[in-house]
Structure 1
Amino acid sequence: MPLARADFHLQNLASAQAEAQRLFDQKAILQGGWLTWVASQIYTLRPAEYASMVRRELVRLQEPSEK
């Protein structure tokens, strides 16, 4: 039986946050090429629910720097 969505989220949140931070840390290094690079990195993540979690964490990380 597959994990319930809430269980999946709880079990993978720390990993998704760490992965998002790793990707976000490359922004200053890659600068203009970061968006294309990060999109390709997220594309490889499985399952799709995990990729979505990483994407949401990246959005959260970017919010303060966009203001």
Structure 2
Amino acid sequence: MSTEKPSRADYHREHQARADAEAQRLLARRAELQERWLPWVAQELYQLSPPEFANMVRRELQRLTSSS
């Protein structure tokens, strides 16, 4: 039984689909929440765990919002 932590690339591959879905969920609330959206998203990101996953969601959200 290995106790090695997965590499960053392995972690990214394993969790990318979930991070994408989470970013889409957050972005879907943008029109509804309007000016309250940014503080709400910050709180949602703060609650995600582990921090590596929260960072993946943050990057995906940034990618999605910069392309819209």
TM-score by length of 2: 0.93
1:26, CA displacement in angstroms? 0.3
CA RMSD of aligned residues (A): 0.6
1:46 aligns to 2:57 (yes or no): no
Q: Which residue of 1 aligns with 2:20?
A: 17
Structure with greater helix percent: 1
Which string of whole-angstrom CA distances, capped at 9 and with x for unpartnered residues, describes residues 15-67 of structure 1? 000000000000000000000000000000011010000000000110122xx
Supply the distance in 2 between the matched residues of 1:8 and 1:29 (Cα, whole angstroms): 32
Q: How many percent of aligned residue pairs carry the same amino acid?
A: 52
Give the structure with higher Rg (CA). Answer: 2
Runs of 4+ deviating beyond 6 Å: none
Count of aligned pairs between the two proteins = 65
TM-score by length of 1: 0.94
